[in-house]
Structure formats: C-alpha cells, structure tokens
Amino acid sequence: GENVEQHPSTLSVQEGDSAVIKCTYSDSASNYFPWYKQELGKRPQLIIDIRSNVGEKKDQRIAVTLNKTAKHFSLHITETQPEDSAVYFCAASTYSTLTFGKGTMLLVSP
C-alpha cells in the first residue's frame, strides 16, 4: 500500500520567516495531494491541495509544489504568523482513501 513520510516532525520559526514541510510517497499511482491544518483539539481542515497534472499551486501565503518523478511534495508558508501555529498533515490519494503523513508541529514565535 501507499506510504507517506513527512519531515520534519517539529518546526520552530520566528514570525515573518518562511516554513517548509516536505513529504514523500511511495505509490506512483497517487494523483491527489492535500494538506491539512489541525489546531489543538480541533478537526483537521483542508488548506490547499494539488493534483498530479500541476507542478505548483499558490493561495496567498501558502504554496504547494509537486515533483512526481521524485515522488515528493512540499508545503511552503511565507511570512509566518503566530496563528499559523498548528499541526500540518500531508496526504496522498490512493484509489479509495487518503494516506496521511505523521504530521509536523509548526510553532511560530512572535
């Protein structure tokens, strides 16, 4: 089955810095790659996604890049703010389900 590896597990940045979270996947048949943000005690929420026919997608301060040849995709957050502090999960779509990475705890210090 699909295996998704996510790094780093924890990331601490200063407000205004950029943050990058990286994921790799194993199944070349995966075609859809969403990213979720989960604040403490709350539900994961979809923040951005990318499909395999696109190499990069941006939404304001958030961008995702995909390299299908290398089977990796990344989340980029620019001009980080304290409210960006949360756990971020990447996922890969394989046939009927999403396989999630183990998450990255992002801490943004004022």
Partner 1 sequence: DGGITQSPKYLFRKEGQNVTLSCEQNLNHDAMYWYRQDPGQGLRLIYYSQIVNDFQKGDIAEGYSVSREKKESFPLTVTSAQKNPTAFYLCASAPGTRDYGYTFGSGTRLTVV
Please, what is the minimum distance in Å from the beta carbon of residue 5 to partner 1? 11
Task: Confirm if 56 and 62 have CB atoms less than 8 A apart.
Answer: no
Q: How is residue 74 written in tokens?
A: 């990344």
Residue closer to partner 1, measured from CB, 51 or 61: 51
Q: Which is nearer to partner 1, 28 or 45 (CB)?
A: 45
Nearer to partner 1, 1 or 110 (CB): 1
Residues that bind partner 1 (CB under 8 A): 1, 6, 9, 31-32, 34, 36, 42-46, 49, 51, 89, 93, 95-103
- Report in angstroms how near the CB of residue 98 gets to partner 1 at its nearest: 6
In the block, tokens 């409210």 appear at 83
Residues 103 and 89 sit within 8 Å (Cβ to Cβ) = yes
Minimum CB–partner distance for residue 87 and partner 1 (Å): 9
- CA distances, 20 to each of 2, 12, 37, 41 (Å): 23, 11, 14, 23
**76 contact partners, CB below 8 Å, separation of at least 6:** 18, 19, 20, 62, 63, 64, 65
Smaller CB distance to partner 1: residue 81 or 102?
Answer: 102
For the CB of residue 86, give the shortest distance to partner 1 in the complex, in Å: 14
